[in-house]
Amino acid sequence: MCVWLCLVLPQAALEAKQEDFKDIIKIGRTHTMDATPLTLGQTFSGYATQVCLKIAQLVRVHYSLLRIMPRCGSACPTLGFRIFAGHLAATQFSSKL
């Protein structure tokens, strides 16, 4: 399961809380520490927007990784087939220790 799919339900819950809290006024702070009235719904709107942006970012990363990842299985030499000589010698030496 993709990570971004796990964020869809919390985003929907935050958007629901945005509607529930739209009439509750609170004091917010700006960058210069000025007191600004805003609703709790606006705060939850900011949370929901951040989750939405992160979902979009994860989807982009997911599909960009799918483009560069190999489409087939990786062939790993496990039985000595096409292993370079140094690796085979080191493996044999370490097994004798």
* % of residues, the chain, pLDDT over 90: 32
Cα 87 versus chain centre, distance: 37
**Mean pLDDT value of segment 52-62:** 86
Q: Is the pLDDT of residue 65 over 90?
A: no
Question: What pLDDT, in 10s, does the model give residues 72-92?
Answer: 555 555 555 555 555 555 555
Sign of CA dihedral 23, 26, 27, 28: negative
- Predicted confidence at residue 70, as pLDDT, reads 62
